[in-house]
């Protein structure tokens, strides 16, 4: 089971034993269809209000405190009543209760037409004292106390929302005074001050944690979602308006999170809109609703990603089609995900933060979608990552199980499932080292099974994203979170349609927290958010351009600044990892990789400076250094885990024996890391190419090794080539290897390492290159000057003529090998003679 539910509260476990101690037998019936004991409300501070029937059929109200794990008896009515709604204020001095006084049958039999069916009371309970009637009507009423911000001093008053089935909400201001013996009473004896909050609504949801009221009013052919924010200073104002293309039943009011009425809610749910609003810490705002399908055994639900400006409608064909099993889709808020759950059928985890590509959402069926403790749909999400099962009277903490997610990743057969699970593991769990290690192991074992994405690229990009974004607000809109630009695949069993919708209109001043983040998200959408994310196209062009420049041009101030950036990154990285390195990386200089490092620092800094000007240059410098250093560290982390798994030693550069199967496996993984890095234009730790080449020499046959070198998979480095030339003796096979390597060296690198191989073949190669370079220096000029006669020990006119011509060119000041004085026309002559004599089988004296 992918979702892990931990019971925070259960009526059967936490309340029934307490009632049994008090001798209450009637409340011990906790079957699902029993109305003797049920939860009425869950308050912001974790207080759960429930009701039960006593032995004399009187009605009791109790409270369970999630923090102290204690029960408390609040109030008793000396008659059998059906409690509809109940709320207690933060100070636990006032209790608001709404109940039904009798059933329709009782009303008809007792001729009580003049008596109101529903009564709403305000009761002083510290101690139990006065009772005041707030409403006496024939339509049901819900009540909800407002709660102050946590840590704020308790006030002398309370505010109570009263929600009427007549489609209006009003607020009561209740001021209390403390009398002797700590008695708290309502201050005024007359009418309580009240204010109308909302009129003509058809749906409303209470956000108890943030003290917000979402509601819908019908407007022509569409519906309008609005939000009222309540503030600690006793003010409230409408802060959001958004038009939704949702048809609503305006004859029946539907309420969400205004307590739970065991009987009435079951009746209303079958007639009214199944809709919930969820928010996330990152400023996400989603409207989830279940739609009616004209096709039997088909479920349709929509998620309005208001913070992104589009709506996704999902159509799911059910596997089992027994009509009695069809139930309503339940929605749960997991902060990073919204879950759409149909018991016995599917569990759909929809990514709120990155909903653009369907492959970042998990669609599960069968055993993967099973949640044993939630087999019905009468559930609510009173706050993030919490589920209240209203029928069972149980409150659960809900989270994604990391172990179940890894199992799902390992057994997945489709790329969309692997990508969604990988994304979830990296971003939902926020950099858990043990989980990261297991993901690296899975990647190293399954490099060839992912066809539509590169798991190494996705691991590095997503890991960087979750490490860096918490540091600074809005950084999540500027850094890439995926290596993919689009997704052309499908998720089996799900049809998705996307529609562009108008963005919500916000009206607020100096508001922090959620509203500020939501406004920032909306601004990003207006400015075409995908284009805000950093990408490497410009970096790639600049790196290639600078890599091809001649050496004498590499001393400009610009390049000095680039290499200074790289130096800062490497020194920054050294402060993180003081332990001895298991993998031989970061032990040499690598011009190309340091050039790429420095360029990435410069370009990422420019990108952030354009969009985060308010952050400041010093902070941005730190962010950029952290980003590039973390990138290198992630590659090193992959290498370290792979090194441990295959039990390799830190020194593997022994070229006189072939590599093991473990070394070949590591070589293959390093090749994939290199491919991933090239695809993203990402720097690698200095020493990576040397290590890769060393493993290649040990593991590959010569023709394959040369093919890899010629195609850029393996790069010749000074460290590795120097060691190869020095350590290998000159057997026929080794000579062939050395000659093949030396032939492929760039000129600058060749001049540095030639001194380490004193061999006729090498001398022959140098002579050839020397002649080639001299003639290239001569250019296309016609050489018509007579060549002077020079004394030569050999009477071979073609060779004499060539050496005389080379000597004449040298006399004109042309000398390609200025640092190697022995390489000259005389050296060419001697080498040519030696090579010819060797081919003829003669001795050269």
CB neighbour class for 690 (10 Å; exposed up to 12, middle 13-18, buried from 19): buried
pLDDT at 780: 44
171-174 LR contacts (CB < 8 Å, sep 24+)? 171/146, 171/195, 171/197, 171/236, 172/122, 172/134, 173/234, 174/94, 174/122
Token pair of 185 as six digits: 């009473």
Q: What is the 3-state secondary structure (H, E, C) of 505-536?
A: EECCCCCCCHHHHHHHHHHHHHCCHHHHCCCC
pLDDT at 285: 97
Sheet holding 82-88, edge to edge: 82-88, 94-100, 118-125, 128-137
477 closest CA partner among 605, 314, 621, 353 = 353
Between β-strands 505-506 and 82-88, what pairing exists: parallel, antiparallel or unpaired? unpaired
Number of H helices, E strands in the chain: 21, 32
pLDDT at 529: 62
Neighbour-count burial for 559-576, b at 16+ CB within 10 Å, e otherwise: beebbebbebbbebbeee
pLDDT at 289: 94
Per residue in 34-89, pLDDT (tens digit) is 568 999 999 988 899 999 998 888 999 999 999 999 999 999 999 889 999 999 99
Tokens 């059998």 map to which residue?
A: 80
Phi, psi of 202 (to 5 degrees): -120, -10
Other C-beta atoms closer than 10 Å to the C-beta of 16 total: 19
pLDDT at 791: 47
Residue stretches of the chain with pLDDT short of 50: 33, 552, 780-782, 784, 786-787, 790-791
Could you give the CA distance from residue 335 to residue 328 in angstroms, rounded to a whole number?
A: 22
The stretches of 530-649 forming alpha helices (DSSP H) are 537-547, 557-574, 591-611, 617-646
pLDDT at 104: 56
Q: Are 805 and 798 spatial neighbours (Cβ–Cβ below 8 Å)?
A: no
pLDDT at 462: 92
CA 497 vs CA 303, 357, 490: distances in Å: 11, 12, 12
Sign of CA dihedral 548, 554, 559, 564: positive
Neighbour-count burial for 612-630, b at 16+ CB within 10 Å, e otherwise: beebeeeebbebbbbbbbb
Q: Are 382 and 392 spatial neighbours (Cβ–Cβ below 8 Å)?
A: no
At residue 116, the 3 state secondary structure works out as: coil
Could you give the CA distance from residue 66 to residue 795 in angstroms, rounded to a whole number?
A: 106
Per residue in 435-483, pLDDT (tens digit) is 889 999 999 999 889 888 999 999 999 999 999 988 788 898 899 998 8
């Amino acid at each position: 089971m992918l979702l892990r539910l931990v019971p925070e509260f259960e009526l059967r476990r936490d309340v029934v034993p307490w009632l049994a101690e008090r001798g209450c037998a009637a409340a011990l019936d906790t079957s699902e269809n029993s109305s003797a004991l049920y939860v009425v409300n869950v308050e912001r501070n974790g207080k759960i209000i429930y009701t039960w029937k006593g032995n004399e059929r009187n009605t009791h109200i109790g409270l369970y405190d999630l923090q102290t794990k204690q029960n408390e008896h609040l109030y008793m009515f000396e008659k059998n009543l059906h409690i509809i709604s109940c709320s207690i204020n933060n100070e636990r001095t006032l209790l608001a209760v709404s109940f039904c006084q009798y059933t329709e049958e009782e009303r008809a039999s007792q001729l009580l037409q003049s008596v109101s069916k529903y009564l709403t009371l305000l009761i002083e309970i510290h101690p139990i004292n006065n009772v005041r009637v707030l409403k006496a009507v024939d339509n049901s009423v819900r009540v909800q106390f407002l709660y102050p911000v946590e840590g704020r001093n308790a006030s002398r008053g309370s505010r109570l929302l009263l929600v009427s089935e007549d489609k209006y909400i009003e607020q009561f201001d209740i001021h209390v005074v403390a009398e002797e013996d700590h008695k708290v009473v309502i201050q005024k004896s007359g009418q309580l001050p009240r204010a109308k909050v909302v009129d003509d609504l058809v749906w409303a949801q209470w956000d108890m944690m943030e003290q917000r009221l979402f509601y819908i009013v019908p407007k022509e052919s569409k519906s309008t979602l609005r939000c009222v924010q309540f503030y600690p200073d006793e003010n409230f104002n409408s802060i959001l308006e958004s038009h939704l293309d949702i048809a609503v039943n305006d004859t029946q009011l539907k309420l969400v999170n205004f307590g739970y009425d065991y009987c009435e809610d079951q009746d209303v749910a079958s007639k009214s809109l199944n809709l919930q609003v969820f928010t996330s810490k990152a400023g996400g705002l989603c409207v989830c609703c279940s739609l009616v399908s004209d096709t039997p055994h088909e479920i349709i639900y929509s998620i309005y990603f208001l913070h992104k400006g589009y709506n996704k409608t999902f159509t799911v064909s059910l596997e089992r089609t027994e009509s009695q099993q069809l139930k309503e889709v339940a929605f749960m808020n997991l902060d990073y995900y919204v879950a759409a759950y149909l018991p016995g059928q599917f569990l759909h985890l929809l990514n709120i933060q990155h909903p653009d590509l369907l492959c970042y959402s998990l669609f599960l069926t069968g055993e993967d979608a099973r949640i044993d403790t939630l087999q019905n749909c009468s559930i609510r999400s009173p706050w993030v990552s919490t589920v209240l099962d209203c029928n069972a009277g149980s409150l659960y903490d809900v989270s994604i199980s990391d172990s179940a997610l890894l199992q799902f990743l390992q057994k997945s057969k489709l790329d969309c499932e692997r990508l969604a699970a990988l994304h979830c593991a990296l971003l939902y769990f926020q950099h858990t080292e043990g989980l990261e290690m297991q993901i690296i192991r899975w990647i190293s074992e399954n490099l060839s099974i992912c066809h539509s994405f590169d798991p190494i690229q996705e691991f590095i990009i997503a890991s960087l994203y979750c490490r860096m974004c918490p540091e600074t607000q809005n950084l999540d809109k500027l850094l890439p979170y995926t290596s993919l630009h689009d997704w052309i695949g499908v998720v089996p069993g799900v049809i998705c349609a996307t529609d562009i919708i108008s963005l919500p209109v916000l009206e607020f001043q100096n508001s922090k927290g959620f509203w500020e983040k939501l406004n920032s998200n909306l601004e990003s959408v207006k400015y075409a958010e995908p284009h805000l994310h950093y990408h490497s196209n410009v970096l790639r062009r600049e790196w290639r351009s600078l890599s091809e420049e001649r050496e004498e041009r590499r001393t400009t101030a610009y390049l000095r600044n680039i290499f200074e950036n790289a130096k800062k990154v490497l020194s920054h990285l050294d402060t993180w990892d003081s332990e001895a390195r298991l993998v031989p990386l970061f032990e040499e200089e690598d011009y190309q990789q340091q050039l790429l490092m420095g360029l990435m620092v410069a370009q990422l800094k420019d990108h952030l400076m354009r969009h985060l000007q308010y952050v400041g240059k010093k902070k941005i410098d730190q962010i950029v250094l952290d980003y590039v250093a973390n990138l290198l560290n992630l590659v090193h982390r992959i290498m370290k885990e792979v090194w441990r798994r295959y039990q390799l030693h830190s020194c593997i550069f022994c070229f006189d024996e072939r590599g093991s199967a473990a070394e070949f496996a590591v070589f293959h993984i390093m090749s994939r890391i290199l491919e991933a890095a090239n695809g993203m234009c990402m720097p690698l730790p200095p020493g990576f190419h040397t290590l890769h080449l060393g493993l290649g020499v040990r593991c590959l046959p010569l023709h394959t090794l040369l093919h890899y070198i010629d195609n850029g998979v393996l790069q010749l480095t000074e460290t590795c080539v120097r060691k190869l030339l020095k350590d290998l003796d000159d057997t026929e096979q080794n000579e062939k290897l050395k000659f093949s390597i030396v032939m492929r060296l760039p000129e600058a690198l060749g001049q540095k390492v030639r001194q380490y191989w004193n061999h006729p073949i090498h001398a022959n190669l140098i002579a050839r290159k020397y002649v080639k370079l001299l003639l290239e220096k001569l250019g296309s000029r016609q050489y018509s000057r007579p060549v002077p006669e020079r004394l030569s020990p050999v009477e071979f006119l073609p060779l004499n003529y060539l050496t005389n011509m080379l000597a004449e060119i040298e006399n004109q000041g042309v000398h390609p090998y200025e640092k190697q004085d022995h390489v000259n026309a005389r050296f060419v002559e001697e080498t040519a003679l030696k090579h010819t004599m060797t081919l003829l089988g003669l001795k050269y004296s």
